[in-house]
Amino acid sequence: MMSQVLNVVMALDAPDWLDLVIVPLVVIMNAVAFLLMRKDKSLARQQRWRVPESRLLGACAMFGAFGGLAGMYTYRHKTRKAKFVLLVPFLLILQLAALGLYFLCVR
């Protein structure tokens, strides 16, 4: 079954312009996730309305897990919440695997 999936993935041929879209989008999403963590930490210190957890995790899920993880540990934010400590690194592993598959097999 796994070999069939790999054969299908390797048979895909991505258009050249897709590389020019994927890389900037990943960089932007990581910056957004990082800045959202910073903003939420700042709002927490001021005891104001916060960025919803769903928005923080959503940014991480949309190929921003590295930025989210970096923001978590740079600002020491959400590092005691199991949901974030487990889910964000898991998302990062999935995203690295997806990007690796794309650049190694499809390109």
Interval 46-71: pLDDT, tens: 999 999 999 999 999 999 999 999 99
CA angle 55, 96, 40 (to 5 degrees): 25
* Residue 43 forms part of a structural domain: yes
Whole domain around residue 102: which residue ranges?
21-106
* Residue 33 forms part of a structural domain: yes
Distance (Å, whole) CA 105 – CA 39: 37
Nearest in space to 79 (alpha carbons), one of 40, 29, 31, 26: 40
* Residue 78 forms part of a structural domain: yes
Q: How many domains does the chain have?
A: 1
What's the pLDDT at 63? 96
Tell me which residues of the chain have a pLDDT lower than 50.
Answer: none
* Residue 70 forms part of a structural domain: yes
Confidence (pTM): 0.84
* Residue 11 forms part of a structural domain: no
